[in-house]
Amino acid sequence: MKFSNFSEWLPETARQLGAHSAACIRMDNPLLRQRIAENNALVSDWLSSGMHGEMAYLGRMFPQKADPWKTFPFARSVIVLAFTNRWGDPAATHPFPEPQDGALLGFVSAYAREIDYHARGQALLSALTERLGGGFKAAAAVDTKAVYERLFATVGGLGTVGGNDLLRVPDRTNTRVFIGCLFLGIELPEVILEPAMPFRCDDCLACIRQCPTGAIRFGLPIDARVCISYLTIEKRGVLDRKEAEMIGDWIFGCDHCTVVCPPRDKMDTRIPVDLEWLLTTPSAAIRRLIALNATAYAGVTQLRKNAVALLKVLDSAAAQQLLVRVGKETGSELIRDQLAAW
């Protein structure tokens, strides 16, 4: 393709494919090198402090994130996309059945509505690669690869990083976007945006005030060890009593710091899950149901472990009855350990 109109072609094509916005950065951009060096120092300190909890993979991936020129040696340019996956849209669908009236409920974050955002991001980047034409090497990264996605997005001017450590884009004002990076073995013209944010994060701080566990602290890195999303998704071991109290009624993710990033939801967009259904339906049936959903990353046993921890904290006869049934029927060592945790 000809690149004389690339600055117009890229954002228009990204919107046609369903993305929110797009930028293009040359890998020899001096600001990119500076920002990565600065971020490496912060991440190194964060890892050394142990605030990543059980996410040992972040330590293993750090050398690759720290040097994208070595990780993607072929890359001359990187296109960064922001996309939404209908996060916060109350009409967006999800695979979980409607709970019965009076059911014991746990909640899944609203971002798990629609198809798994990893798959959506990969599809967007694949379609963009086809539009660019062939004859060059490309590598797509959506969250699971060793890439500082938010850093690339901010260098490209897609937005700023909010107090909750998520990318905040200007025209949505909130942080309900995901990020994909497409590393390309061709030199493309840079497309760097200038985000006009309607207000500064430090003029608001709603996400910090709303966080019920204190994981978000002004001017300091997030302490993942007390983050509800970490506890329900990434912590694979048994939850102790304090952690179970922290997660409240969540079994996957948390929306506390996103719903208050203006505009506030007009209705509750969390996904309610009937805990009896979750704990008693054959696991194979649930795995098939959530196969294309973000909750598949956690897996059925993790969701059930969180449900057991939630129920153990409840002072409810119905919760206790369900726990007794689970204890008799479960074949999972993790579930048995969670049942006996305190």
Active site residues: 143
Tokens of 38: 């600065």
Interatomic CA distance for residues 335 and 341, integer angstroms: 10
Interatomic CA distance for residues 319 and 338, integer angstroms: 15
Cis-peptide into 90, omega within 30 deg: no
Indicate if the alpha-carbon torsion angle 201, 32, 80, 298 is positive or negative: negative
Indicate if the alpha-carbon torsion angle 156, 157, 158, 163 is positive or negative: positive
* Residue 107, H or E segment: strand 105-108
Tokens of 8: 């117009």
For residues 23 and 193, is the Cβ–Cβ distance under 8 A? yes
- The whole-angstrom distance between residue 281's C-alpha and the CA centroid of its chain comes to 27
